[in-house]
Amino acid sequence: MPIRALLAAVLIAGATHAFAQTPAATPGPLAAEGCLGCHGPAGSGSGPIVALAGHDQAEMIAAMAAFRSNERAGTIMGRVARGYTEAEIAAIAAHFARLPR
Amino acid sequence: MANTLSRRALLGAAAFLAAPATLRAQGSTARLLVIGGGFGGASAANFARRAYPWLEVTLVEPKTTFVTCPYGNLVIAGVRQIGDISHNYDGLRARGVRVVHDWATGIDATARTVRLQGGQSLGYDRLILSPGIALRWGALEGYTEAASEVMPHAWVPGDGTQTLLLRRQLEEMPDGGVVGMSIPGNPFRCPPGPYERISMIASYLKRHKPRSKILAFDAKEAFSKQGLFQDAWAALYPGLVEWVPASRDGRIVKVDAAERVLESEFGEKHKVAVANVIPPQSAARIAIEAGLTDASGWVPVSPVTFESRAAPGIHVVGDANIPGPMPKSGYVANSTAKQAVASAAAALRGQAPTPGIYYNTCYSHVGDEYGISVVGIFRPNAEGNAIVEVANSGGVSPRGNWPEQRRLEAHYADAWYGSITRDMFA
């Protein structure tokens, strides 16, 4: 598939350009965007749904681990936590920890 | 066919080569055009301005007020007002989105322009197309747009007229009247929606018209959160809800709007007092006319970038696409729209797209202080050619006697509505 190869080459060439071109504002990890539909824009919380912004990173990682193993009861968070890798949860927690409470 | 695809791929590659040349310089802008201001489009426009301020974002949406499908069932039951589920585009304008209230009538994928009904033509570097669905008029014999003014679908709210029509008909119906529903086969917008609607109408009838009942005719054998819904109907609305699957002649094939008759596959005629007909659906017309749909009537897309298989450079999100195992839901539209924007931004910077992770929760209200949910977390597979649900994750609320769980989920549902609409419109 020469065209595939061409596309791949284009992608790789593009990628090497890209390092010098950090956008003006770096978005949080895309994985964290999935949280906002319930936990509110910028993780600001919504009524009974807890805010994530300004949450301690280690605490959030521990909470997600407890949800994942069903040690901590939740309505939906057990089902949610099992969808993410530990690395993703660490990145998500780091992102929200940096946001103002 | 292979030849055509290769040429298409080559065109795509050529476009890819051209893009970094024009956008290489630090601080250069690019034009992101978004068609459709619903869950996919508004989320895309909002996220694009928030995450990639170097994008010039234009949103084309004919309506100045957007009425959500989610929570429409609560308006139908009389526990929310239409104003509670109506949103405007002022927040997106404040974010720097140029909002154009017009109909997009055609796409020229080669020239990268979109024609508007008002005569204007808009150019773009990347297009996010989130046009929603079309109702397939005539797919049920007799169910035309005119018939829908007598037998509302209330499935594409438009300016809210359809939602309010069904509400008014239920209010005007005498106690003892039968509410008939016709529910389509898969796929369709909002898989749990018809069953939340049954629940919400039943809750209204129980309170105000206790001698009435709901006859729900379904073209399917099974549905989303079925066990949870049926448990709730038995507990909360005994004798009020009759659900008729296809195997019991539940498939409606013909309607008579003047007589308010729903006719089944095997010729059974059901005369009802109020008829809510949710017809079969397809991607919206603009996607069909642009040649993006396949024989199914929906748009095949890349599981990583959500670019149309037929026209790379056009990212198709929301209910119009073929989402693999994901439901056609507002949350999936919101989540995948962000991935589409991130992929478009990467392409414009000459970068490879980052595989995403797609998130869904669908809450349904089934009664007062009684909510249920389904959760799904999805990713592209290792080959990047399909979307798969993450093993051992997601799923539905537990069955059984969990009153506190049901109460909390009802409140979390309301909080979800507030959050996701702010994520779109604020």
Rounded to 5 degrees, φ, ψ at B302 are -70, 135
Q: Predicted confidence band at A7 (pLDDT cuts at 50, 70, 90)?
A: very low
Q: How many CB atoms are closer than 10 A to CB B104?
A: 24
Q: Is the pLDDT of residue A6 over 80?
A: no
ipTM value: 0.90
- Tell me the pLDDT of chain B averaged across its residues: 94
Q: Considering chain B, what percentage of its residues have pLDDT values greater than 70?
A: 94
Q: How confident is the model at residue A18 (pLDDT cuts 50, 70, 90)?
A: very low
Interchain pair A30, B357: CB under 8 A: yes
Are B366 and B196 within 8 A, CB to CB?
Answer: yes
Instruction: Give the model's pLDDT for residue B14.
Output: 40
d(CA B188, CA B356): 24
Q: Nearest CA of chain B to the CA of A97: how many Å?
A: 18
> Minimal CA–CA distance to A4: which of B172, B8, B410, B74?
B8
Q: What is the pLDDT of residue B28?
A: 84
Measure CB to CB from residue A34 to each of B357, B392, B393 and give the nearest one.
Answer: B357
- pLDDT for B27: 60
Q: What is the pLDDT of residue A4?
A: 41
Q: What angle do CA B145, B146, B151 make, to 5 degrees?
A: 90
If you average pLDDT over residues B397-426, what whole number do you get?
Answer: 98
The strand pair at B261-264 and B252-256 is best described as antiparallel
Structure tokens at B8: 């298409």
**Chain B closest-CA separation from residue A58 CA (Å):** 22
- pLDDT interval class at B55 (50, 70, 90): very high
A34 to chain B: which residues are within 8 Å by CB? 335, 357-359, 377
More confident residue, B254 or B19: B254
**What is the structure's pLDDT at B53?**
95
Chain A and chain B share a number of CB contacts under 8 A equal to: 159
Contact A71, A27 (CB under 8 A): no
Nearest to B352 among A15, A30, A39 (CB): A15
B277 pLDDT band, cuts 50/70/90, is very high
Write out the H or E segment, with its range, that includes residue B315.
strand B314-316
Given A4, A27, A37, which is nearest B416 (Cβ)?
A37
